[in-house]
Amino acid sequence: MTALLPEGTARRLLAATTLLTMLGYGIYLTAGVLYFTQGLHLPAIEVGLGMSLAGALALATGIPLGHLADRLGARTVHAVILLVGGAALAGLCVTRSFWPFIACATLIAASQSAGPAARGPLVQEYGREHPAVFRSYLRAVSNVGIAVGALAAGWAVEVDTRIAYVLVLAASAAAYGVGAVIAIAIPRVPPLRTGSGPRWIALRDRPYMALTVLDGLMAIQYRVLTVAVPLWLLRATLAPHWSVSAVMLVNTVIVVFLQVRASRSIDSVATGARAFRRAGVAFLISCGIFSLLAGLPGWLCVVVLLAAVAVHTTGEMWQAAGGFELSFALAPRESVGQYQGLFGMGLGLGVTVGPTVLIALCIGLGSLGWWIVGLGFACTGLAVPVTARWAERSRLRPPTPVAEPVAR
């Protein structure tokens, strides 16, 4: 893999699909809520409840759609999911009331939730011997797409008219549609699971389920920089308001340029588990630094803040790389889509409950809450290596012999 473009046509097509769809998703993330409240004039409480409901419903789609990708072929299922997401974004442009908004928002959330699961067999096939490294590359591409989409949506936010919001959402739908067309051009990967046997094997894999839960708990950290830190800066510190944007800028730049490098040495279950342990320590350190911002002079607050963001982002990259490695290495090859769908549910749950947990602790309790959150991340990271060894042992255990029937 080169610094900018991956090797091989299939990898480049998959990267292009990811870039376009995440560009569209970045537009939706930035302009969606404002369109619902300013353009459609829906009450803010209805919008909040509706998006939470849409996210909750979408969590259940990863496993079945990942299973379909295993059984029917990942390329087709992935392209259809992108088309559905694009159609839902286009539907928002003509939506006028609450329930159509709920339907479209649910389909968009489902497309975003199930996309990595359906894409899993493609990443495994074209990632060759290191699918987790290729997945890290796609994560960097995703961050670029979201950043560009957010910049494009900034025009609509500045103009703040319904027409402007409709135009950028239409561009978002078009990005999804073009991404789906490119996905069809990716060389076909034959169905991985063609025989009979238990259908939902991922749900019966207790060690993998335990790792999914731990990754979900650690995934609460994704809301630290987007929810807890902005509120903390505005309510408890003397930092200038522009520092909120600087937080996301620093985070995005570090991930884009260093995510692949952070994943190159993580090439086994053991190294993936240790990456989680290091991530937990990094989150503990960053949360401790965030707790110290209150009361600092404005200029010093910004310097310390950006140092904390860099430490936190380092932990974020370690967690992501470790999760990619464990989720692929411990998944049976013939069911990787289903397993990716299950692992993605942990991330989805963590991101969903994260705002509530972080606001209650970091904002409600202040500095003490930051230390509680940091210790929680560190303890979760320490639990991952033990659970990963359990998962490895369960895969090495020989099958239980079946007794031959005794002749009468």
pLDDT of residue 400: 44
Q: Taking Cα atoms as reference points, which of 174, 147, 183, 65 lies closest to residue 113?
A: 65
Pick the CATH number of 7-185 from 2.30.110.10, 1.20.1250.20, 2.120.10.30, 3.90.550.10: 1.20.1250.20
Q: The tokens 């411990």 sit on which residue?
A: 330
pLDDT of residue 396: 64
pLDDT of residue 7: 78
Cβ-contact 370, 290 below 8 angstroms: yes
d(CA 368, CA 372): 6
pLDDT of residue 6: 77
Give residue limits of the domains in the chain: 7-185, 200-395
Cβ-contact 167, 35 below 8 angstroms: no
Q: The tokens 């994704």 sit on which residue?
A: 222
pLDDT of residue 403: 43
Whether 7-185 and 200-395 share one fold: the answer is yes
Q: What is the pLDDT along the chain (408 residues), one digit of tens a residue?
A: 445 677 788 999 999 999 999 999 999 988 888 888 888 888 878 887 888 788 888 888 888 888 888 888 889 999 999 999 999 999 999 988 888 988 999 999 899 888 888 898 999 899 887 898 999 999 999 999 998 998 888 898 888 889 999 999 999 999 999 999 999 999 988 886 655 556 678 888 999 999 999 999 999 999 899 889 999 998 899 998 888 888 988 999 999 999 999 998 898 999 999 999 999 999 999 999 999 999 899 999 999 999 999 999 999 999 999 999 999 999 988 888 899 999 999 998 888 888 889 999 999 999 999 999 999 999 999 999 999 999 999 876 544 444 444 443
d(CA 398, CA 149): 50
How is domain 200-395 classified at the architecture level of CATH?
Up-down Bundle (1.20)
pLDDT of residue 1: 42
d(CA 125, CA 127): 6
